[in-house]
């Protein structure tokens, strides 16, 4: 049974991230509405949600970095720095 959250595209497909964002959007809007209906300020809810998501991304990146790689890197090849989670943290999430 398909839900609004059902994955339709394989990772690597050019539309994968866009479809995932659309699927997440419905749940996030519902979550924000739920919190504002419970009395929380909408802007503060958005800032808190951004912080929680960034913290989860950083923790996940740290977990991924600690997992052994399937094959050894050739000597002299440097591991590229992560750009999606840590870069966002260094630059700030844009909501203050």
pLDDT in tens, 62-92: 888 887 766 644 545 455 555 444 444 444 5
Q: Residue 9: name the closest of 1, 21, 22, 20 by CA.
A: 20
- Residue 3: the pLDDT is 65
**Structural element, H or E, at residue 87:** helix 86-91
Confirm whether pTM is higher than 0.75: no
- Residue 88: the pLDDT is 43
Residue 80: Cβ-neighbour burial (10 angstroms; 0-12, 13-18, 19+): exposed
CA 23 to mean position of chain CA atoms = 13
């Amino acid at each position: 049974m398909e839900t609004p959250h059902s994955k339709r595209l394989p990772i690597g497909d050019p539309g994968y991230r866009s479809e995932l964002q659309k699927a997440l959007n419905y749940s996030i809007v519902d979550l924000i509405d739920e919190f504002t209906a419970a009395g929380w300020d909408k802007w503060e809810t958005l800032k808190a949600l951004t912080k929680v998501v960034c913290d989860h991304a950083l923790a996940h990146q740290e977990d991924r970095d600690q997992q052994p790689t399937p094959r050894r890197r050739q000597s002299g090849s440097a591991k590229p720095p992560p750009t999606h989670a840590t870069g966002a943290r260094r630059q700030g999430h844009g909501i203050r």
